[in-house]
Homo-oligomer: A and B are copies of this chain.
Amino acid sequence: MSVELRDIDAALARIRAYVHETPLTTHASLNVLCGTECWFKAEHKQKGGAFKARGAHHALTRLSPEQLACGVATHSSGNHGAALALAASRFGTRAFVVMPSNAPRPKREATIAYGATVIECEPTLAAREETLRACVEQTGAVFVPSYDHPDIIAGQGTVAIEMLRQNPELDTLVVPVGGGGLLGGISVAAKALKPSIRVIGAEPEGANDAKRSLESGVRVTQHHPDTIADGLRTTLGELNFALIQRYVDDIITVSDPQIIDAMKLYMSRAKELVEPSGIVGLAAILRKPDLFVNSCVGIVISGGNVDLEHPVWL
């Protein structure tokens, strides 16, 4: 069971009515600083403030009416939970979201605001999975995973189709990688649409399981992430890793201070709000500018849900 361009094309047709085609924008002063032409895909302006709306809505379009009627459930530290809550409300069903106690406050609040039932648990993968299992057992809801599933990957991959339509000149894509749903889906679509394109992952140094997995050829399943990029702390998925091994050219890691610098730079120049996980692509270009000289780079900004009461950049 894998994901191909035709799945991603079909996903785009299915979700078109529910999600935004987000803008692809460029900024003269950032191009000068990066020493290359940068085009930013604004998934922070997606419904719910993150690309996760694509996969969540797509997954729900693939459920039968009977399944949908049972409600949906997931565990998530943030954007996927909010996206699933949003999608469930659009499809007229219930959502149960297991969230670790350290989930960012605004993401938790958004999930509740979209009408989901939030169930808090300890911030460990074991606790999340166990709490979810109990929730599914009690409610009969259908589990919708956050990244390691073909429907989710196909949904997230729709970003690449839009980008290459919006600017066919793009010769490189730089994409955040956490669980690998976004990078996996984008790499499939991009390489199928434009075989010459480079696809590069961007990852925090403190959560570099994708980098280590790609280098060793063996998926890292145990890791102890330590990064401000809360959306990228998840462990690379199995299906995701297979796609990344096949289609991704390189992964660049960035430190938390580099993420903060990129975040402040983008906010002050573009006047847009981005979350730490969202801006690792720009941080990667600023860290390794030599890799991007004379390129036309598409950078995916994956989300913009920051806690304004506790700015991480201070």
Contact = CB atoms under 8 A, between A and B. Distances in A.
Interface of A: 42, 44-45, 49, 106, 264, 267-268, 270-274, 304, 308-309, 311, 313-314
A271 B304 contact: yes
Contact of A273 (B49, B106, B271, B313): B271
* Most B-side CB within 10 Å, residue of A45, A274, A308, A311: A308
Contacts of A106: 268
A261 B271 CA distance: 18
Contacts of A309: 314
A12 B49 CA distance: 34
B271 A267 contact: no
Contact of A272 (B264, B271, B308): B271
A147 to B, nearest CB: 22
* Most B-side CB within 10 Å, residue of A44, A271, A274, A311: A271
A309 B273 CA distance: 14
A272 B274 CA distance: 9
Contact of A308 (B42, B44, B304, B313): B313
5 contacts: A45-B270, A264-B308, A267-B273, A271-B273, A271-B304
Contact of A45 (B267, B271, B273, B311): B271
A46 to B, nearest CB: 9
A268 B106 CA distance: 9
A271 B273 CA distance: 5
A273 B268 CA distance: 8
Contacts of A271: 42, 44-45, 49, 272-274, 304
Contact of A268 (B308, B311, B313): B308
Contacts of A273: 267-268, 271-273
A275 to B, nearest CB: 9
Contacts of A313: 308
A72 to B, nearest CB: 22
Contacts of A304: 271
Contacts of A267: 273, 308
Nearest to A42: B271
Contacts of A274: 271
A45 B270 CA distance: 7
A79 to B, nearest CB: 13
Given A45-B271, A268-B273, 9 more contacts: A45-B270, A49-B271, A264-B308, A271-B272, A271-B274, A272-B273, A308-B311, A309-B314, A311-B314
Nearest to A43: B271
Contacts of A44: 271
A314 B309 CA distance: 6
Nearest to A307: B268
A85 to B, nearest CB: 14
Contacts of A49: 271
Contacts of A308: 264, 267-268, 311, 313
Give the 10 A-B CB pairs with smallest separation, nearest first: A271-B304, A271-B273, A44-B271, A272-B272, A45-B271, A267-B273, A264-B308, A271-B272, A311-B311, A273-B273
